Amino acid sequence: MTQTDKLIIFDTTLRDGEQAPGFSMRIDEKIRLARQIEALGVDVIEAGFPIASEADAEAVRRVSEVVTRATVAALARCSPADIDRAAWAIKPARRGRIHTFIATSDLHLACKLRMTREACLAAAVSSVAHARGYTDDVEFSAEDATRSDRDFLCRVIEAVIEAGATTVNLPDTVGYSTPDEISEFFRTIISRVPNAHRAVFSAHCHDDLGLAVANTLAAIGAGVRQVECTINGIGERAGNAALEEIIMATHVRRDRLPVETGIVTQQLYASSQLLTEITGERVQANKAVVGRNAFAHEAGIHQDGMLKDRRTYEIMRPEDVGVPETTLVLGKHSGRHAVQKRCDQFGLTLSRQDLDQVYRRMVTLADTAKHVTDDDLRAIVFEVAGVTSAPIARDIAHPAGYGFGV
């Protein structure tokens, strides 16, 4: 890539994400999350699978009514009934998309669909044409694309583009591929399909081997200009490519990924937190970008570097993703500089001798308590300084008025 291109962000939190066990959402919750996803700045919101249930169809319809900027997409199998239901659900949308799909791998055709390649091709073409009767924004997905026969896949892609598909999504449905394979896969397909220039190619990568984000970034490098992802990476089995990780990778490493998105990065943390609130499913502590420890530092060497220049150990600023601030966690790996810094924040001045005592007691406590809270540290400081328990509450209320040591 020699120039900065627009990268379309297709968020499927409300559809693929919701299909994961424990992540089901009510209609009102989907509407609330859809508003936040739009505030985040995504281009396409896949709101659901209307044929799946009355509630899912109604949810897509309601989301279509409240979303004012983003395109609202509805998923449909290559079936007239599915497409008709999807069209009904997105009808209120200012911009609506029908996303129709069928499996193209021989494994899925033989074992799941019990369908020949020719029947699959015919269904794909007729379904795209049917969807175009409702909207000029039609996406076609070849399920299990990365395990499909290349010659057959190219035939399908060429045919659906000719039938009117404006976006072609080639999913790594079971998260089987590696980044080098994904790169070669997309470069080969795009170069072999004669009308490829008439469609936007899209990547939808699953995380079964922990490679969803890496594969998505490799796809971008190979010419893909739409990526399908979810907040916190939720989704079937091990989940999807995490939206926040893709976005911050393109933000931090523009030298390697010269693409632009419309994402308001400061809304990433708020989006993650809202999803957690709605589903009750917590984000793992070490989750990139939005995890509790993403901007937390306990090791003394790291804390010392952070206090001198945070660029030493942080490649992005917490405020850039909506996290309030960096946290220096006090634990058995912490150093004196972090203890001094926290005491300074309390307005508590320590002599070198007192600081050494406070530090040693803090480390001893951390060996059993794992981490030391602000209240724990205050108690240690007051004990070392010989302050009685009676005035402590007043001291904490007005810490700047008290100094310990000279």
Over residues 261-277, the pLDDT tens digits come to 999 999 999 999 999 99
What is the signed CA dihedral for 297, 299, 304, 309, rounded to 10 degrees?
-40
In a domain, 286, yes or no: no
| 182 contacts 204 by C-beta, under 8 angstroms | no
In a domain, 110, yes or no: yes
Amino acid symbol at 166: T
Q: What is the pLDDT of residue 3?
A: 62
**In terms of domains, do 42 and 122 share one?**
yes
* Cα distance between residue 346 and residue 358, in whole Å: 14
Q: What is the pLDDT of residue 387?
A: 56
| 283 contacts 244 by C-beta, under 8 angstroms | no
CA angle 31, 33, 37 (to 5 degrees): 115
| 100 contacts 77 by C-beta, under 8 angstroms | yes
Low-confidence ranges of the chain (pLDDT < 50): 1-2, 388-406
Concatenate the DSSP letters of all residues of 138-193 into one string.
EEEEEETGGGS-HHHHHHHHHHHHHHT-SEEE--BTTS---HHHHHHHHHHHHHH-
Among 279, 307, 333, the domain-final residue is 279
**In terms of domains, do 236 and 312 share one?**
no
**Residue 86 is part of which domain span?**
5-279
pLDDT in tens, 92-140: 999 999 999 999 999 999 999 999 999 999 999 999 999 999 999 999 9
Tokens 């949810």, residue?
59
**In terms of domains, do 114 and 195 share one?**
yes
**In terms of domains, do 38 and 150 share one?**
yes
Average pLDDT over the chain reads 90
pLDDT in tens, 167-195: 999 999 999 999 999 999 999 999 999 99
| 242 contacts 294 by C-beta, under 8 angstroms | no
**In terms of domains, do 308 and 378 share one?**
yes
Helices (H) and strands (E) in the chain, counts: 15, 14
CA angle 190, 192, 193 (to 5 degrees): 70
Q: How many domains does the chain have?
A: 2
Q: What is the pLDDT of residue 349?
A: 79
291 Cβ neighbours under 8 A, 6+ residues apart: 283, 284, 285
Q: State which H helix or E strand residue 378 sits in.
A: helix 374-385
Q: What is the pLDDT of residue 114?
A: 97
**In terms of domains, do 225 and 354 share one?**
no
**pTM of the predicted protein model:** 0.86
Q: Which of 119, 95, 93 is nearest to 108 (CA)?
A: 119
| 115 contacts 135 by C-beta, under 8 angstroms | no
